[in-house]
Structure 1
Amino acid sequence: MNAKVEQASGTNAADIAKLALAAVILVGGIAGFYYFSGAAQVLRVLGLLVAVVAAAFVGSQTGPGRTLRFFLRESSIELRKVVWPTREETIRTTGVIVVVVIIISLILGLIDLILKVVVMDWLLKL
Protein backbone atom coordinates (compact mmCIF):
# COMPACT_ATOMS: atom_id res chain seq x y z
CA MET A 1 0.00 0.00 0.00
CA ASN A 2 1.22 3.45 -0.81
CA ALA A 3 1.92 5.53 2.29
CA LYS A 4 1.50 8.92 0.66
CA VAL A 5 -0.66 11.44 2.47
CA GLU A 6 -3.42 12.66 0.23
CA GLN A 7 -4.13 16.35 0.25
CA ALA A 8 -7.75 17.46 0.27
CA SER A 9 -8.15 19.41 -2.92
CA GLY A 10 -11.29 21.07 -4.12
CA THR A 11 -12.39 21.20 -7.72
CA ASN A 12 -11.46 24.57 -9.16
CA ALA A 13 -13.13 26.49 -11.99
CA ALA A 14 -10.75 25.11 -14.65
CA ASP A 15 -11.57 21.55 -13.60
CA ILE A 16 -15.29 22.29 -13.75
CA ALA A 17 -14.88 23.80 -17.22
CA LYS A 18 -12.91 20.75 -18.40
CA LEU A 19 -15.50 18.36 -16.98
CA ALA A 20 -18.26 20.36 -18.66
CA LEU A 21 -16.33 20.19 -21.94
CA ALA A 22 -15.93 16.44 -21.53
CA ALA A 23 -19.68 16.12 -20.93
CA VAL A 24 -20.43 18.22 -24.03
CA ILE A 25 -18.09 16.07 -26.14
CA LEU A 26 -19.72 12.89 -24.85
CA VAL A 27 -23.26 14.16 -25.40
CA GLY A 28 -22.22 15.41 -28.84
CA GLY A 29 -20.87 11.98 -29.74
CA ILE A 30 -24.08 10.28 -28.61
CA ALA A 31 -26.23 12.84 -30.44
CA GLY A 32 -24.10 12.42 -33.57
CA PHE A 33 -24.52 8.65 -33.36
CA TYR A 34 -28.30 9.03 -33.54
CA TYR A 35 -28.32 12.05 -35.88
CA PHE A 36 -26.35 10.21 -38.55
CA SER A 37 -28.57 7.12 -38.44
CA GLY A 38 -28.44 6.92 -42.24
CA ALA A 39 -24.65 6.57 -42.29
CA ALA A 40 -22.80 3.29 -42.13
CA GLN A 41 -22.96 1.61 -38.73
CA VAL A 42 -19.17 1.29 -38.60
CA LEU A 43 -18.69 5.04 -39.05
CA ARG A 44 -21.30 5.85 -36.40
CA VAL A 45 -19.70 3.52 -33.85
CA LEU A 46 -16.23 4.82 -34.71
CA GLY A 47 -17.40 8.41 -34.21
CA LEU A 48 -18.96 7.49 -30.90
CA LEU A 49 -15.76 5.77 -29.76
CA VAL A 50 -13.70 8.81 -30.76
CA ALA A 51 -16.04 11.04 -28.72
CA VAL A 52 -15.82 8.73 -25.69
CA VAL A 53 -12.01 8.63 -25.87
CA ALA A 54 -11.81 12.40 -26.32
CA ALA A 55 -14.16 13.00 -23.38
CA ALA A 56 -12.18 10.57 -21.22
CA PHE A 57 -8.93 12.33 -22.16
CA VAL A 58 -10.32 15.77 -21.33
CA GLY A 59 -11.81 14.45 -18.09
CA SER A 60 -8.55 12.79 -17.10
CA GLN A 61 -6.79 16.17 -17.19
CA THR A 62 -8.83 17.42 -14.22
CA GLY A 63 -8.11 16.98 -10.52
CA PRO A 64 -10.74 14.24 -10.09
CA GLY A 65 -9.46 12.62 -13.30
CA ARG A 66 -5.91 12.51 -11.97
CA THR A 67 -7.21 11.04 -8.72
CA LEU A 68 -9.08 8.36 -10.67
CA ARG A 69 -6.01 7.54 -12.76
CA PHE A 70 -3.91 7.24 -9.58
CA PHE A 71 -6.53 4.99 -8.00
CA LEU A 72 -6.68 2.74 -11.08
CA ARG A 73 -2.89 2.50 -11.23
CA GLU A 74 -2.64 1.59 -7.54
CA SER A 75 -5.51 -0.90 -7.90
CA SER A 76 -3.76 -2.70 -10.74
CA ILE A 77 -0.59 -2.92 -8.65
CA GLU A 78 -2.58 -4.41 -5.75
CA LEU A 79 -4.34 -6.86 -8.08
CA ARG A 80 -0.98 -8.25 -9.15
CA LYS A 81 -0.25 -9.05 -5.50
CA VAL A 82 -3.40 -11.16 -5.07
CA VAL A 83 -2.90 -14.91 -4.74
CA TRP A 84 -5.84 -16.40 -6.62
CA PRO A 85 -7.16 -19.82 -5.55
CA THR A 86 -6.63 -22.85 -7.75
CA ARG A 87 -9.50 -24.53 -9.55
CA GLU A 88 -9.53 -27.37 -7.02
CA GLU A 89 -9.66 -24.96 -4.07
CA THR A 90 -12.51 -23.06 -5.68
CA ILE A 91 -14.51 -26.24 -6.34
CA ARG A 92 -13.88 -27.52 -2.80
CA THR A 93 -14.89 -24.20 -1.23
CA THR A 94 -18.01 -23.99 -3.38
CA GLY A 95 -18.98 -27.51 -2.34
CA VAL A 96 -18.60 -26.64 1.34
CA ILE A 97 -20.75 -23.53 0.88
CA VAL A 98 -23.48 -25.51 -0.91
CA VAL A 99 -23.54 -28.14 1.86
CA VAL A 100 -23.70 -25.48 4.59
CA VAL A 101 -26.53 -23.66 2.81
CA ILE A 102 -28.50 -26.91 2.50
CA ILE A 103 -27.97 -27.76 6.18
CA ILE A 104 -28.96 -24.29 7.37
CA SER A 105 -32.04 -24.26 5.13
CA LEU A 106 -33.12 -27.63 6.55
CA ILE A 107 -32.61 -26.36 10.11
CA LEU A 108 -34.60 -23.19 9.40
CA GLY A 109 -37.34 -25.23 7.70
CA LEU A 110 -37.52 -27.52 10.73
CA ILE A 111 -37.73 -24.54 13.09
CA ASP A 112 -40.48 -23.05 10.92
CA LEU A 113 -42.40 -26.33 10.96
CA ILE A 114 -42.08 -26.63 14.76
CA LEU A 115 -43.24 -23.04 15.27
CA LYS A 116 -46.18 -23.60 12.92
CA VAL A 117 -47.26 -26.70 14.81
CA VAL A 118 -46.86 -24.97 18.17
CA VAL A 119 -48.77 -21.85 17.15
CA MET A 120 -51.47 -23.40 14.97
CA ASP A 121 -52.20 -26.60 16.89
CA TRP A 122 -51.50 -25.70 20.50
CA LEU A 123 -52.01 -21.98 20.96
CA LEU A 124 -54.87 -21.31 18.56
CA LYS A 125 -56.94 -24.33 19.65
CA LEU A 126 -57.24 -23.08 23.23
Structure 2
Amino acid sequence: MSPTPQVETVSSGAEKAKLAAVAVLVIASIAAFYLLGQQDLWQRVLVLLLGLAMAVGVFFVSESGKQVIAYGRDSVREVKKVVWPTRKEATQMTGYVFAFVLLMALFLWLTDKSLEWVLYDLVLGWKR
Protein backbone atom coordinates (compact mmCIF):
# COMPACT_ATOMS: atom_id res chain seq x y z
CA MET A 1 0.00 0.00 0.00
CA SER A 2 1.28 3.40 -0.93
CA PRO A 3 0.97 6.12 1.67
CA THR A 4 -1.55 8.82 0.95
CA PRO A 5 0.13 12.03 -0.15
CA GLN A 6 0.00 14.93 2.22
CA VAL A 7 -1.56 18.08 0.87
CA GLU A 8 0.43 21.12 1.86
CA THR A 9 -0.57 24.67 1.25
CA VAL A 10 2.34 27.03 0.99
CA SER A 11 1.46 30.62 1.58
CA SER A 12 4.17 33.24 1.63
CA GLY A 13 4.01 36.44 3.54
CA ALA A 14 3.56 38.36 0.30
CA GLU A 15 0.48 36.32 -0.59
CA LYS A 16 -1.01 36.90 2.84
CA ALA A 17 -0.28 40.61 2.47
CA LYS A 18 -2.04 40.70 -0.92
CA LEU A 19 -5.14 39.01 0.50
CA ALA A 20 -5.08 41.34 3.50
CA ALA A 21 -4.86 44.29 1.10
CA VAL A 22 -7.90 42.95 -0.74
CA ALA A 23 -9.85 42.82 2.53
CA VAL A 24 -8.70 46.33 3.50
CA LEU A 25 -9.67 47.71 0.07
CA VAL A 26 -13.14 46.16 0.27
CA ILE A 27 -13.74 47.50 3.77
CA ALA A 28 -12.32 50.92 2.86
CA SER A 29 -14.55 51.10 -0.23
CA ILE A 30 -17.66 50.35 1.79
CA ALA A 31 -16.62 52.78 4.52
CA ALA A 32 -15.93 55.52 1.95
CA PHE A 33 -19.36 54.97 0.44
CA TYR A 34 -21.00 55.67 3.78
CA LEU A 35 -18.59 58.42 4.88
CA LEU A 36 -19.34 60.37 1.70
CA GLY A 37 -22.99 60.56 2.64
CA GLN A 38 -23.15 64.29 1.84
CA GLN A 39 -21.99 63.74 -1.76
CA ASP A 40 -24.16 62.85 -4.71
CA LEU A 41 -25.10 59.20 -5.07
CA TRP A 42 -23.21 58.77 -8.34
CA GLN A 43 -19.98 59.97 -6.68
CA ARG A 44 -20.43 57.58 -3.77
CA VAL A 45 -21.12 54.68 -6.11
CA LEU A 46 -18.11 55.62 -8.24
CA VAL A 47 -15.83 55.57 -5.18
CA LEU A 48 -17.27 52.21 -4.15
CA LEU A 49 -16.83 50.69 -7.60
CA LEU A 50 -13.28 52.02 -7.97
CA GLY A 51 -12.29 50.59 -4.59
CA LEU A 52 -13.86 47.23 -5.40
CA ALA A 53 -12.16 47.20 -8.82
CA MET A 54 -8.80 47.81 -7.14
CA ALA A 55 -9.53 44.96 -4.71
CA VAL A 56 -10.39 42.64 -7.59
CA GLY A 57 -7.20 43.67 -9.40
CA VAL A 58 -5.05 42.94 -6.36
CA PHE A 59 -6.84 39.60 -5.84
CA PHE A 60 -6.18 38.45 -9.41
CA VAL A 61 -2.47 39.27 -9.01
CA SER A 62 -2.28 36.98 -5.96
CA GLU A 63 -1.77 33.22 -6.20
CA SER A 64 -5.39 32.58 -5.19
CA GLY A 65 -6.56 34.81 -8.03
CA LYS A 66 -4.32 33.01 -10.50
CA GLN A 67 -5.84 29.71 -9.35
CA VAL A 68 -9.34 31.10 -9.92
CA ILE A 69 -8.35 32.17 -13.44
CA ALA A 70 -6.84 28.74 -14.15
CA TYR A 71 -10.00 27.05 -12.86
CA GLY A 72 -12.11 29.24 -15.14
CA ARG A 73 -9.96 28.36 -18.15
CA ASP A 74 -10.19 24.66 -17.32
CA SER A 75 -13.96 24.95 -16.96
CA VAL A 76 -14.29 26.60 -20.37
CA ARG A 77 -12.10 23.89 -21.89
CA GLU A 78 -14.33 21.18 -20.37
CA VAL A 79 -17.53 22.86 -21.55
CA LYS A 80 -16.15 22.85 -25.10
CA LYS A 81 -15.81 19.06 -24.85
CA VAL A 82 -19.53 18.59 -24.09
CA VAL A 83 -21.60 17.09 -26.89
CA TRP A 84 -24.76 19.19 -26.88
CA PRO A 85 -28.05 17.67 -28.10
CA THR A 86 -29.55 18.79 -31.37
CA ARG A 87 -32.72 20.84 -31.39
CA LYS A 88 -34.72 17.76 -32.36
CA GLU A 89 -33.26 15.69 -29.51
CA ALA A 90 -33.90 18.45 -26.98
CA THR A 91 -37.51 18.84 -28.19
CA GLN A 92 -38.10 15.08 -27.99
CA MET A 93 -36.67 14.82 -24.48
CA THR A 94 -38.77 17.79 -23.36
CA GLY A 95 -41.85 16.06 -24.78
CA TYR A 96 -40.97 12.87 -22.91
CA VAL A 97 -40.64 14.81 -19.66
CA PHE A 98 -44.01 16.53 -20.15
CA ALA A 99 -45.67 13.20 -20.98
CA PHE A 100 -44.17 11.56 -17.90
CA VAL A 101 -45.30 14.45 -15.67
CA LEU A 102 -48.80 14.21 -17.10
CA LEU A 103 -48.92 10.43 -16.50
CA MET A 104 -47.63 10.85 -12.95
CA ALA A 105 -50.20 13.55 -12.23
CA LEU A 106 -52.96 11.29 -13.55
CA PHE A 107 -51.65 8.34 -11.50
CA LEU A 108 -51.45 10.39 -8.30
CA TRP A 109 -54.93 11.84 -8.87
CA LEU A 110 -56.39 8.36 -9.39
CA THR A 111 -54.58 7.04 -6.31
CA ASP A 112 -55.87 9.95 -4.25
CA LYS A 113 -59.46 9.48 -5.40
CA SER A 114 -59.26 5.70 -4.87
CA LEU A 115 -57.97 6.11 -1.32
CA GLU A 116 -60.59 8.77 -0.67
CA TRP A 117 -63.33 6.43 -1.87
CA VAL A 118 -62.02 3.48 0.15
CA LEU A 119 -61.52 5.43 3.36
CA TYR A 120 -64.51 7.75 3.35
CA ASP A 121 -67.19 5.69 1.60
CA LEU A 122 -66.33 2.08 2.43
CA VAL A 123 -64.51 2.23 5.76
CA LEU A 124 -66.11 5.23 7.46
CA GLY A 125 -69.40 5.15 5.60
CA TRP A 126 -69.50 8.90 5.06
CA LYS A 127 -71.70 9.93 2.20
CA ARG A 128 -71.07 13.20 0.46
TM-score, scaled relative to structure 1: 0.70
Find the aligned partners of 1:105 and 1:67 in 2 and give their Cα distance.
47
Q: Secondary structure of the residue that 1:8 maps to in structure 2?
A: coil
Q: Name the residue aligned to 1:112.
A: 112
* Within-5 A mapping of 1:31-46: 31-46=31-46
Q: Name the residue aligned to 2:49.
A: 49
Unpaired runs of 5+ residues, structure 1, are 1-6
List structure 1 segments (4+ residues) > 6 angstroms apart after TM superposition.
none
Q: CA RMSD in A?
A: 2.7
Conserved? CA contact 1:29–1:47, under 8 Å: yes
Q: Secondary structure of the residue that 2:52 maps to in structure 1?
A: helix
Find the aligned partners of 2:45 and 2:87 in 1 and give their Cα distance.
38
Bigger shift: 111-120 or 15-24?
15-24
1:27-60 deviation line (CA, Å, top 9, x unaligned): 2212222332443444433332222222123223
Conserved? CA contact 1:11–1:63, under 8 Å: no
Q: Which has the higher contact order (CA 8 A, sep 6+)?
A: 1
Q: CA deviation at 1:24?
A: 1.7
Bigger shift: 72-81 or 115-124?
115-124
TM-score, scaled relative to structure 2: 0.69
Give the greater-gyration-radius structure (CA).
2
Q: CA deviation at 1:107?
A: 0.6
Aligned CA distance change for structure 1 residues 43 and 76 (closer, same or farther; 3 Å): farther
| Amino acid corresponding to residue 54 of structure 2 in structure 1 | A
